[in-house]
Structure 1
């Protein structure tokens, strides 16, 4: 294993180890603070972060507004308060050592307002902003305003080139690094484009070389690339270290920090990680963002797959093979199916899937009355956690605050699911089956890596020390 040298990032020399910022309450001030204290870059998730009452207890994010717009304002306020609380915790733990970054998803609801609100109230504590899930052109502008470094997350040289030419060249001195996130292996939302086959992973090496080539054209020879997605043991990436084709490199770990003593996820989630097998992480497109995402293939995802399979195309008028009449809803409004599809529908109804739900693609999916009622309730309770949501048809852009499409029952309320699993009660195994459990595709290695033998869960410091050995 090659010697791992410090890398200059965000104006300081640190270990080339970066904690990945994971969604709703899966990386927080405690985990980030300890990661920075160990000498790397700790990352606080700025996505609906937890805030605390005077007794130090987590404040449940309950929405009381009557309209989506009202609830969206509550969401933004929760996000700012939680982000500030987590940054302060991380700073108190790290004592100014290492680097502290805040991660936001550009497509999350109120992203720009939330990150501005957090940085306004934590001046001098945050070293950098990490941002992906979209094309965050305004990231550099925000970084300039607060004089912090910024770290865009991209999955191709082409994406970074577009960001640079449009905006980032105006704040070149604050670009702390470029995160290359492998779109096939990363956990959570992935950056697969329409031209890439989700079933045909590509090696990251030529993609990193292409990214560095573009960066050199822009004078970014010494700006580090941060390799993310699929990184488990650095001995497996030895050819990337001190490689002149790639240049300065650091490595981001998203999955392994989940299983540390300081990780905020519930113990039941940690236990589940230790039991995963190869293939248990599923690349899917059910997210209401419209992006691909990787998550544990549990009962929740299986239910979404089954729902999509109980699907038939319909026509409002008899045309072609669509001649079989079918009544939808309480009023039994007529639509037309193919005779074969009508047979499928009768079979599903016999199994209890009697509720036909319209999708934006002129299809019907079939669910039980109980599940259909839950879908409707979740859509009504939308709080605008995304800039646009295909599940509820919310858009944060006025005047209509509507994305112009029919709400899609094949998706789900991601805010509800992520909050439920992150804050599951001790011993609540059902929450691990009935909610979205993001994970990288290497998560099965917890069960095979001898470091975790007999259920061993390390501290962040023990994990960082282990990573520095290459294992």
Structure 2
């Protein structure tokens, strides 16, 4: 029988130990996070390129006017601050004094530090904590502490937390609100898989979280400080042995996927409808993201196109070397200094004959073959870059003196800002990146959603509290 949860103290008030996952570009906003807090949990406003509003309450399109990437990057930072502030203020009003409001940022997003400073400065007293992952956010504790808010690092191993604690977090221990363990195989969005871990062999989260707690104890951190289990959490009765478990200490649970399918969820109707049709195996753990991280998304035509782009790939040399004894004669215009193997020459000719007539060089001394239309779109997307990441493989943007990674732009990837903005604001679900956790297929079989039922956030939270 399900033990049930008890409220905990967070931000000076009692809340349910239930956290709404803060999902990227506009997939959580003031409506969903405010409602989650109103239901007594911890709502999480996504502070990643969040929407802001005009005087009539309409979303302000994020259109970039500047000619240079660096200037567009400054526009992006201002959009980011204004949008997150607007979302926090609205969420705080909806919560009406209940629960708590966190914000979520990605450490590897463009302008992460100035955006975080700008948002926390303008929302004093309204934000309880900052969750942050996608990288090693060493300065997170310093920034959060300077505004008197909690910080909740998102990590995927005890080893990662140990590094953060020793280098920075131990100096601001009193503001550590919780540690979020995000399962790198099951969570949606970007995943924290290390090079030592096999993406095809998921590991049981229990021993990994037990190890994390052991690392926290090494640092003198009380068992009362919660670990938030995130990724793969669907119903709490499946996690019953984690509750009141002395080996794990205090545990909270984060729900990222289930809140997508609520009345208050801001994602468009087409996205919600697609969630109800997913089958097990429809979520792909892939490495096409321009961040360089693994990420999990619905395996739709958008991702299949990226798979195809990488499959139409051959290695080359600039000189006649070994098996690279055949001059490439398709896809390269008048250039004749690409040498390939006999088999790859045959592949290239077949792709050329199928309409993939343009060859694009990659940073790894390979060529990918695409259609002329696709090449044109790739080049435009790369030229339109506004620096939404600290460094981007797709466009070669980086937040450094030269604003460049120093590597060739990688056309095997894509503009993540463009596709996430498009799908969040009504663009076609089959032609955009659709992030989702690996449990999303359960919408179809869970009786709670039978006959197309879409709950309110309050109904969902009440359901979760029963264990189901």
Which of 232, 256, 273 is residue 254 of structure 1 equivalent to? 256
Question: 2:75 corresponds to which residue?
Answer: 74
**Structure 2: distance between partners of 1:26 and 1:129:** 17
**Structure 2: distance between partners of 1:329 and 1:311:** 14
1:17 Cα shift? 0.4
1:144 Cα shift? 1.1
**Structure 1: distance between partners of 2:164 and 2:207:** 20
**Structure 2: distance between partners of 1:139 and 1:209:** 24
1:333 Cα shift? 4.3
**Structure 2: distance between partners of 1:205 and 1:227:** 10
Question: 2:246 corresponds to which residue?
Answer: 244
Question: 1:316 corresponds to which residue?
Answer: 318
Question: 1:134 corresponds to which residue?
Answer: 135
Question: 1:36 corresponds to which residue?
Answer: 37
1:332 Cα shift? 2.1
Contact 1:7–1:248 (8 Å) recurs in 2? no
**Structure 2: distance between partners of 1:444 and 1:325:** 48
Question: 1:278 corresponds to which residue?
Answer: 280
Question: 1:434 corresponds to which residue?
Answer: 431
Q: How many residues align?
A: 465
Question: 2:121 corresponds to which residue?
Answer: 120
Give SS of 1:334's match.
coil
Q: Does 1:370 align with 2:373?
A: yes
TM-score normalised by structure 1 residue count: 0.98
Deviations 1:212-237 (A, max 9, x none): 01111112121100000000000000
**Structure 2: distance between partners of 1:401 and 1:8:** 44
Q: Does 1:231 align with 2:233?
A: yes
**Structure 1: distance between partners of 2:392 and 2:260:** 27
Question: 1:401 corresponds to which residue?
Answer: 403
Deviations 1:81-139 (A, max 9, x none): 00000000001101221110000000000001111101111111100000000000000
Contact 1:132–1:152 (8 Å) recurs in 2? yes
Question: 1:338 corresponds to which residue?
Answer: 341
Contact 2:4–2:467 (8 Å) recurs in 1? no
Contact 2:327–2:336 (8 Å) recurs in 1? no
Question: 1:390 corresponds to which residue?
Answer: 393
Q: CA RMSD in A?
A: 0.8
Q: Does 1:455 align with 2:457?
A: no
1:329 Cα shift? 3.5
1:6 Cα shift? 1.3
Which of 417, 420, 423 is residue 418 of structure 1 equivalent to? 420
1:423 Cα shift? 0.4
Question: 2:57 corresponds to which residue?
Answer: 56
Contact 1:7–1:250 (8 Å) recurs in 2? no
Deviations 1:221-271 (A, max 9, x none): 211000000000000000111110001000000000000000000000000
**Structure 1: distance between partners of 2:336 and 2:421:** 37
**Structure 2: distance between partners of 1:113 and 1:333:** 48
**Structure 1: distance between partners of 2:175 and 2:13:** 13
Give SS of 1:463's match.
helix
**Structure 2: distance between partners of 1:333 and 1:191:** 42
Question: 1:351 corresponds to which residue?
Answer: 354
Give SS of 1:151's match.
strand
Contact 1:261–1:460 (8 Å) recurs in 2? yes
**Structure 2: distance between partners of 1:85 and 1:6:** 29
Give SS of 2:284's match.
strand
Contact 2:50–2:80 (8 Å) recurs in 1? yes
**Structure 1: distance between partners of 2:116 and 2:102:** 11
Q: 1:168-317 alignment to 2 at 5 Å?
A: 168-221=169-222, 222-317=224-319
